[in-house]
Structure 1
């Protein structure tokens, strides 16, 4: 039996560094701050049939989740989408928060129309798409798709057709999910190709991240990855991951992959205040460079898994949504 969240043990001394200590650099690049080199590294990852659309490739779906609010999930989702777009990939960022979506606000957009209006027939999918920075497409109100279970078969087919067209024209679909795995959006996460759970070194965030991992661990097709945000050092981020990994293997008997870590960086806070995404406003900041490394990781995962194709995302989602409603 897995431990209850409030029974999760943490060694606070291991997870925190003294405030007076200088943060250890999280950059693995030999030329820290050379953003041109970072971008060249991203471009070098592109190979025929990986980023470029072809008959042998399809959109890769990444669901970004967190166990609790305030860990930077939406900020990471947006900046990761932009980092991928900088490689030339076509990216769609979909906000699935249940009523607290803010992706559009983070990049100075106004998402009045959303997917609930597509389901109701008031707008088409193309009409609600917002063009974000670097040409990424931003869609809000994706949780409205859960209403399809109560719609007619004709409406379902129409909306599914529009969603499949959207998927066919993008290389990556990034889903910014709400806090925790709410029953209403669980199917969005379990239908994705990859799941990224964001946490911080705070004990409450780690405990909630474990609870989220536990709720998803029964889906064998999912490879769950974790990203530790707001780290003060590489050592701190590694300890958080190792603690989660050890507990997951011991009680859930499943593996856990490390996607990376993002350093604590005041430029992140400033970019949110300015509504100007970090990788565009401060591309040479430590956190931005870590996000570019995360983008390289996402591209590498795509390359290694491209041969193990599953059915496209939205048909899988439809099957789960309608199966739950039955």
Structure 2
């Protein structure tokens, strides 16, 4: 185990070194920043306003949340994205953690450029996309979209068009959200089609999961599902879900469904040290099999909703909540 830990620490150091190197090139980046300001200045001279035509989308948006850290939310998001990709779907995994995103580290990527650079004009969305395992798209720094509130309408229009193009080219958009429901990222969650609340049997994790469910329960159209992670027995997992379900029904007068259960599996721990997702490195392990079942559950759910009329794309819905105006 120790060599793997050392390798992980080394890779962390490599990423830190890359960031320090980029900081050391302050002058060149400052020059690029000046160019970005000029570009944004030209854009702001365009006809103001944002996208007027309401677009519909077949892309299913799944927000993965947790009440507290350490319950395996990011690992679940990554491996779920890969399981959906194995089924033939085109998947985009977006990191919405506030300044603490590490989804790229978990699959041997290095995402220095992120969505905050798209908002500033330093990079386009296509330039900051990372190609992960099985061809999934990985986008980091999505929390930077909250900065759009301080941008001109022309800048918002440009970024929205890029985000809608991203959505239109994928079947699933997986949002790896921060722990809890921070006000700055709550809009990302309540704009999604489905919400997965990840918890473990630990009492504090269950309490925090309930607090997260409570903060979302006022949104009637939101479909909230609980995912029990790291359980040691099937009875334990079922008891945790029933506890959450009964409490939600009794005090919030809201429903709660179960997305699935993922057992405690040491292969998951090793996959984090190795930065090699367990769905790929240990495809036959209990956790991988559980993730495959979860992905099939979501695919089946999506099929049952196909008969309904197409709904508005995710990002215009998000825009209205972030900016408080029509998208």
Task: Give me the TM-score of the superposition, normalised by structure 2.
Answer: 0.81
In structure 2, the residue matched to 1:118 is 118
RMSD of the alignment, in Å? 1.4
For 2:104, what is the secondary structure of its paired residue? Answer: helix
In structure 1, the residue matched to 2:239 is 239
In structure 2, the residue matched to 1:22 is none
Cα drift, residue 307 of structure 1: 3.0
In structure 2, the residue matched to 1:206 is 206
CA deviations over 1:155-178 (Å, ceiling 9, x no partner): 000000000000000000000000
Cα 1:56–1:219 change in 2 (3 A) is closer
For 1:182, what is the secondary structure of its paired residue? Answer: coil
Q: Does 1:130 align with 2:139?
A: no
By percentage of residues, which structure has more helix? 2
Cα 1:119–1:56 change in 2 (3 A) is closer
What are the within-5 Å matches in structure 2 for residues 148-163 of structure 1?
Answer: 148-163=148-163
Cα drift, residue 323 of structure 1: 1.1
Structure 2: how far apart are the matches of 1:146 and 1:310? 23
For 1:307, what is the secondary structure of its paired residue? Answer: coil
Structure 1: how far apart are the matches of 2:57 and 2:98? 31
What are the within-5 Å matches in structure 2 for residues 53-68 of structure 1?
Answer: 58-68=58-68
- Confirm or deny: 8 A CA contact 1:63 1:195 kept in the other structure: yes
Cα 1:250–1:97 change in 2 (3 A) is same
In structure 2, the residue matched to 1:17 is none
Task: Give me the TM-score of the superposition, normalised by structure 1.
Answer: 0.82
In structure 2, the residue matched to 1:256 is 256
In structure 2, the residue matched to 1:280 is 280
Structure 2: how far apart are the matches of 1:182 and 1:280? 32
- Confirm or deny: 8 A CA contact 2:57 2:311 kept in the other structure: no
Structure 2: how far apart are the matches of 1:173 and 1:198? 17
Structure 2: how far apart are the matches of 1:125 and 1:74? 22
- Confirm or deny: 8 A CA contact 1:279 1:288 kept in the other structure: yes
Cα drift, residue 57 of structure 1: 6.1
Structure 2: how far apart are the matches of 1:147 and 1:300? 36
Structure 2: how far apart are the matches of 1:180 and 1:160? 26
In structure 2, the residue matched to 1:101 is 101
CA deviations over 1:133-172 (Å, ceiling 9, x no partner): 0000000000000000110010000000000000000000
Which blocks of at least 5 consecutive residues in structure 2 are unaligned? 1-54
CA deviations over 1:267-313 (Å, ceiling 9, x no partner): 00000000000000000000000000000011011111223332110
For 1:184, what is the secondary structure of its paired residue? Answer: coil
CA deviations over 1:243-289 (Å, ceiling 9, x no partner): 00000000000000100100000000000000000000000000000
Structure 2: how far apart are the matches of 1:205 and 1:265? 18
Q: Does 1:228 align with 2:239?
A: no
Structure 2: how far apart are the matches of 1:193 and 1:260? 17
Cα drift, residue 318 of structure 1: 0.3
For 1:147, what is the secondary structure of its paired residue? Answer: helix
CA deviations over 1:103-128 (Å, ceiling 9, x no partner): 00000000000000000000000000
- Confirm or deny: 8 A CA contact 2:249 2:255 kept in the other structure: yes
- Confirm or deny: 8 A CA contact 1:57 1:306 kept in the other structure: no
Cα drift, residue 88 of structure 1: 0.9
In structure 1, the residue matched to 2:267 is 267
Which blocks of at least 5 consecutive residues in structure 1 are unaligned? 1-54
- Confirm or deny: 8 A CA contact 1:82 1:134 kept in the other structure: yes
